[in-house]
Amino acid sequence: MYAIIDIETTGGRKVDKITEIAIVIHDGEKIVDQYNTLINPEINIPYFITNLTGITNDMVADAPYFYEVAKKIVEMTSDKIIVAHNASFDYHFLKNEFKSLGFDFKRKTICTVKLARKLVPALDSYSLGELCNELGIEIVNRHRATGDALATAKLLEYLLTINGNEIDLFAGLRINSLGNLHPKLDRKKIENLPEDTGVYYFYDERNELIYVGKSTNIYGRVLSHFSNFRSKKSVNMRDAIADIDYLVTGNELIALLHESHEIKKNTPLFNRSQRRTSYPYGIFSYTNAKGYLCLKMDKVSGEEIPHTAFHSQDSAKSCLMGLSEQYDLCQKLCGLYDATGACFHYSINVCQGACIGEEDKETYNERVRKALLQYEFQDRNFFIIDSGRRHDERCVVKIENGKYMGYGYMDISNSINNIEDLNACINKYPDNRDVQQIIRSYLRRNKVEKIIRY
């Protein structure tokens, strides 16, 4: 049995909510039940979304809240496979809504986009509108939940006729098609893995840890390991996995930090590259005999933490050359030009003469410090506050004197701004060059909920 679902939302961001849901129950041959309701999202519906769906703030003002229809959704989808066009979108929103209620909503899913790409190849577009138009399926009330769900039901019927009603293929029950796994590995452990952000662990038959990984979808990522035959290493690891464990972190930054810590602590066999460092080349600074602040590119080793680190030597050199050009730094003092006298840029009047002592060292050093500022935390002492494992929890990462001190979790019923409570929830972890790079990179790429300086 299938539960074909379509939802409308206030947008596609993490903070957005469901405004309408339609569920069509299908037995593989015909529709046997259906349900539809508007939902009060408790936040504003943007104009461009109203323009697309026709759902206004007034329409949902008196609609039920999600918690009022949650039981109905659970009952209708129980023991059924959820089907949706771009299923990851609809399923993600449903899981988040249930997560906010403290309920772990987990169903197997079918994505009709992916299946249509496989069974009806070479089309220009696989959007629901274009696909239905190509196949002669009528959509009534496009961009409303019921209209799109009924059209998806017709699309599923068409795809089932192509595939001869082979449900296992459509259901994506890849666990049953993974082939021969280690005889000690309980396949139910794979099936019961959460589709949440966290860290996962692989053990061999001697219960020795052989691999640690992180993912925003533990279940999906673990399945991908069992389907990976692209290298001898991948196959050898797959065949050696006799047990699996996991830790839900609820937050990608915590997953990255915890993964790095576990790899360094346990040195798993199949994490060889990460056991050393994920960023083997770095940019370092030192003061030469004449008092000039110099930069150099070098391999990362020992406990000295570089200002920034890179996956390759070429990337590190490229960055150093960029800093030299952007901040008018001397090629020689950046380790980019080997000479006993002046650098080449001095001969063409680009370098101001720091290489031969002509430029005032403090003036030059100030430009170097300015260049390095972008690789330092804006503040020396602060807490990073972001999403936790539950809707009523936040993760907390502590930086003190520019060093990583550790992380923890805090119930939002406590004061998030209380420094004593924040300190109390921190579990200490060692600082190192990799976690420094992880935190800096994450803060550059992501907007966290809050930064608290102290």
Amino acid identity, residue 149?
Answer: A
Range of the domain at 420: 382-453
C-beta of residue 411 within 8 angstroms of C-beta of residue 392: yes
Residue partners of 308: CB distance under 8 A and separation at least 6? 282, 283, 319, 375, 437, 440
Please say which residue of 375, 404, 424 terminates a domain.
Answer: 375
Task: Say if residue 273 is exposed, middle or buried (CB neighbours under 10 Å; 0-12, 13-18, 19+).
Answer: exposed
Residues 1-37: b if buried by 16+ CB within 10 A, e if exposed: ebbbbbbbbbeeeeebbbbbbbbbbbeeeebeebbbb
Of 200, 249, 205, 203, nearest in space to 220 by CA? 200
Whether residues 144 and 271 share a domain: the answer is no
Check pLDDT > 80 for residue 364.
yes
For residue 386, list its beta bridge partners. 395
- CA 341 vs. chain centroid, Å, equals 49
Whether residues 13 and 150 share a domain: the answer is yes
C-beta of residue 302 within 8 angstroms of C-beta of residue 269: no
Average pLDDT, the chain: 89
Residue with tokens 């830790």, as numbered in its chain: 247
Q: Tens digits of per-residue pLDDT, 138-181?
A: 999 888 999 999 999 999 999 888 865 554 444 444 555 566 88
Distance, CA of 185 to CA of 72 (rounded, Å): 36
Task: Say if residue 333 is exposed, middle or buried (CB neighbours under 10 Å; 0-12, 13-18, 19+).
Answer: buried
Please say which residue of 339, 357, 375 terminates a domain.
Answer: 375
Whether residues 292 and 317 share a domain: the answer is yes
Whether residues 159 and 257 share a domain: the answer is no
Of 77, 102, 67, nearest in space to 22 by CA? 77
The residue-averaged pLDDT of 441-454 equals 89
Of 322, 324, 321, nearest in space to 352 by CA? 324
pLDDT for residue 175: 54
Residues in the chain, overall count: 454
Q: What percent of the chain has pLDDT over 90?
A: 59
- CA 416 vs. chain centroid, Å, equals 24
pLDDT for residue 238: 92
Of the candidate ranges 40-49, 72-81, 335-344, 436-445, the one whose mean pLDDT is the lowest: 436-445
* Residue 141, domain CATH: 3.30.420.10
pLDDT for residue 171: 45
pLDDT for residue 414: 73
Helix, strand or coil for residue 18? strand
pLDDT for residue 417: 81
Residues 143-153: b if buried by 16+ CB within 10 A, e if exposed: bbbbbbbbbbb
Whether residues 7 and 61 share a domain: the answer is yes
Task: Give the C-alpha distances (Å, rounded to integers) separating 313 from 293, 307, 310, 440, 445.
Answer: 22, 15, 7, 20, 22
Distance, CA of 286 to CA of 278 (rounded, Å): 24
* Residue 196, domain CATH: 3.40.1440.10
pLDDT for residue 384: 96
C-beta of residue 241 within 8 angstroms of C-beta of residue 204: yes
More confident residue, 179 or 242: 242
Q: Give this prediction's pTM.
A: 0.61
Distance, CA of 249 to CA of 194 (rounded, Å): 11
C-beta of residue 251 within 8 angstroms of C-beta of residue 396: no
Whether residues 243 and 192 share a domain: the answer is yes
Split into its structural domains, the chain has a count of 4
Q: What percent of the chain has pLDDT over 70?
A: 94
pLDDT for residue 223: 87
Whether residues 291 and 161 share a domain: the answer is no
Whether residues 130 and 272 share a domain: the answer is no
Check pLDDT > 60 for residue 218.
yes
Q: Are strands 31-38 and 18-26 parallel, antiparallel or unpaired?
A: antiparallel
Distance, CA of 62 to CA of 57 (rounded, Å): 10
Please say which residue of 216, 247, 276 terminates a domain.
Answer: 276
pLDDT for residue 104: 85
pLDDT for residue 108: 85
Residue with tokens 């810590």, as numbered in its chain: 261
Distance, CA of 69 to CA of 224 (rounded, Å): 34
Q: Tens digits of per-residue pLDDT, 192-217?
A: 888 889 999 999 999 999 999 999 98
pLDDT for residue 38: 97
Query: With the CA atoms of 438, 440, 446 and 452 taken in that order, what torsion angle do they form, in degrees rounded to the nearest 10?
Result: 120
Whether residues 361 and 294 share a domain: the answer is yes
Main-chain dihedrals φ then ψ at residue 364, nearest 5 degrees: -70, -45
Check pLDDT > 80 for residue 3.
yes
pLDDT for residue 169: 46
pLDDT for residue 168: 43
pLDDT for residue 327: 94
Of the candidate ranges 179-188, 365-374, 380-389, the one whose mean pLDDT is the lowest: 179-188
For residue 283, list its beta bridge partners. 297, 308
Check pLDDT > 50 for residue 57.
yes
C-beta of residue 172 within 8 angstroms of C-beta of residue 195: no
Distance, CA of 71 to CA of 34 (rounded, Å): 15
Residue partners of 216: CB distance under 8 A and separation at least 6? 197, 252, 255
More confident residue, 451 or 373: 451
More confident residue, 177 or 46: 46
Helix, strand or coil for residue 90? helix
Whether residues 152 and 207 share a domain: the answer is no
Whether residues 321 and 435 share a domain: the answer is no
Whether residues 395 and 298 share a domain: the answer is no
Of 26, 5, 24, nearest in space to 167 by CA? 26
Q: Tens digits of per-residue pLDDT, 83-138?
A: 999 888 999 899 989 988 988 898 888 889 888 888 888 888 899 999 999 899 99
